[in-house]
Amino acid sequence: MAPDQRGYSAAARPLGVELYTSDLLMADALALMDNCRAPRFHLVGHDWGGQLAWLIAAANSDRVATLTVLSRPHPAAFARAMTEDPEQANRSQHHRTFRQPDALDRLRQNNFKILRSALEREGIAAENIDTYFQTLNEPGALEAAINWYRAANIASMQIPPISVATLYIWGTADPTVGRRAAELTAQFVSGPYRFVEIEGGGHFIIDQFPDRIAQLVIEHLRSDAL
């Protein structure tokens, strides 16, 4: 199952920053699994989906068979790197920018030029970029996407170590996540852990290296047959 998360689906796009807190986002994912009658499941997430995956695995180790996260470090590792590493603080500048009152207007300028340019620099195919912005042009979609940033407080997140089998995949050329944050993640996983670096991979490594990522994920899932 690869669901649209809250805000990205026109049928699940509530208004209000307070409706995008981590507790509510976690509840959405768990409700999907409950509806599928899945007492245990493999969990895979990228970027904000990865952030959510870390939180779900920490709080529901009895239900998460394996955890796979792409790009996004463990929340505590990310918070520490943002505080202690000036390079990571600079890489994470967009987290602060998106929380500014004029963020929506700035992002919409010139047909989303800022965001489009960022995706183009990552080598994302033009047709995929067009698909992404078709969604962001829907009523309330950009506001919902920004609400993920505005509702989060990464610096204050405190979660226990991850005890489930974890695969963390990071691209060495990710412009938003530096090496310190990526390597610190190991300190916050107490269970079996594998860290894979994708040489030259950017933030959207699943778009750039789909076959390699699929192979890694399948291998990891096979480590626990539920």
Domain boundaries, the chain: 17-221
Fold of 17-221: Rossmann fold (3.40.50)
pLDDT confidence band for 226 (50 / 70 / 90):
low
pLDDT confidence band for 224 (50 / 70 / 90):
confident
pLDDT tens profile 35-89: 999 999 999 999 999 999 999 999 999 999 999 999 999 999 999 999 999 999 9
For the segment 205-213, the average pLDDT, to the nearest whole number, is 96
Is residue 188 predicted with pLDDT exceeding 90? Answer: yes
CB contact at 8 A, 176 and 205: no
Max Cα-Cα span within the chain: 48
Backbone angles phi and psi of 66, in degrees to 5? -145, 155
pLDDT confidence band for 160 (50 / 70 / 90):
confident
The answer for 140, left when phi > 0, alpha when psi is -120 to 50, beta otherwise, is: left
pLDDT confidence band for 159 (50 / 70 / 90):
confident
Is residue 177 predicted with pLDDT exceeding 80? Answer: yes
Q: The whole model's pTM is what?
A: 0.94
Please choose, from the candidates 175, 182, 223, 180, the residue with its C-alpha nearest in 3D space to the C-alpha of residue 200: 175
Please choose, from the candidates 13, 4, 11, the residue with its C-alpha nearest in 3D space to the C-alpha of residue 141: 13
DSSP 185: G
* CA-CA-CA-CA torsion sign (27, 31, 32, 37): positive
For the segment 159-185, the average pLDDT, to the nearest whole number, is 96
